[in-house]
Structure 1
Amino acid sequence: MTYQCELDRWKDLAIERLAKMEQLSSQLEERHCHEVESYKAENQHWMSQLNETQREHLELRSRISEQKTMYMKQLADKDAIIEQLRSSVHNLKTQIISMQTMISVNDPSFDLSAIVEVDETSDGLSQPGSERLEIKFDSSIDIHEIQDDLVRMPTTSTSIWQEPVIERLRREKQLASKQNAVLRRQIKALAARERRARLDAQNLKNQVFRM
């Protein structure tokens, strides 16, 4: 009888222990499944974030490439404009020198120091407000005045010979001086445009280099 009671007691303990083990195993499995689902959801979230970041990165690279191409084209256009303006300034300066030389032949006392000078400044792009090309002459002569002078000048050979030589030379000198003044104003305007074009080109270069 005692043996049977002891056997039943151990049997009940074993059944109770087995039930607890099954309950613990079920709890562990449930927790494991929950953690796996949580890890999957988190992994899916980060994968989605990674894909979005990669997509944005590709878009930014494509946009930067397009902007760089556009800036390089603008830079080439600016360089072409600068070269064109430089050529125009050179041609105008040559015209002025030729006209001044022609006047000096008729009037040796004419002062050639008034010829417009265009100097390249050493720091034209480094200092704000500085001129890349410095104009050493300014004038307010209007081109309409030159046209009026051309109208008033004698056009026939008879009237030219009737007019005193000194008066004719004086008129030609005045007309040439006014033409020179207009050319100087054109050089000044072209110089300002060239300076702005150089600054724009430098800004474009800086933007391209920062990419």
Structure 2
Amino acid sequence: MRILLIEDDQKTADYILRGFRENGNVCDHIENGHDALFQASRENYDVIIADRMLPGLDGLSVIKALRSTGKKTPVIFLTSISGVDDRVEGLEAGGDDYLVKPFAFSELAARVSALARRPVMQQEKTVLKVHDLELDLIRRRASRAGKEIELQPKEFLLLETLMRNEGRVLTRTMLLERVWDYHFDPQTSVVETHISRLRAKIDKPFEVPLLHTIRSTGYSIHAPD
């Protein structure tokens, strides 16, 4: 079993690492939230053990960000906070289980084993690609043919939505719902304006157009035939 331990208290980390490694498991250890998010998003683990209180980026934020990329790795939170509301908060952030400090290693090991036995769900990509256009969902960066493209937050989300649906036509209504969370027509040209801005950044400087307007239907992004 391959485990990622995110814990800044060295004594606690040593205790957990020793226990799992003695049982023949591979257990990587990260001490801060930012490095943990990078590691967890790039590597595949059977289970993640995450402390809630971490330097740089707290455990809840790490797992929320990880879940936003589509990673389904089971997560068990470790915490010294024992309130019901705090446990609920951890589960709503994307955690699968919760263990309050201090704890017996045998209980942690049993819970980790139970999580690892769950059916493995397919992991979504953290880098989307269409032809020579790339969108890094972790670093929040876009590039085409190796040239970085600066995008505003809504432009990034719009491009992400289109790239996740490569080859499909997305209507104006679909984009309003998925990008702007509008479930009504605001009677504005917000979609058209952002499509125009996006096209100017990802297509006009390059020879091959990727973003296409489908007349009277919507928009689609796809590689050339």
TM-score, normalisation: structure 1 = 0.19
Larger radius of gyration: 1
Q: As a proportion of its length, which structure holds more helix? A: 1
TM-score, normalisation: structure 2 = 0.19
Q: As a proportion of its length, which structure holds more strand? A: 2
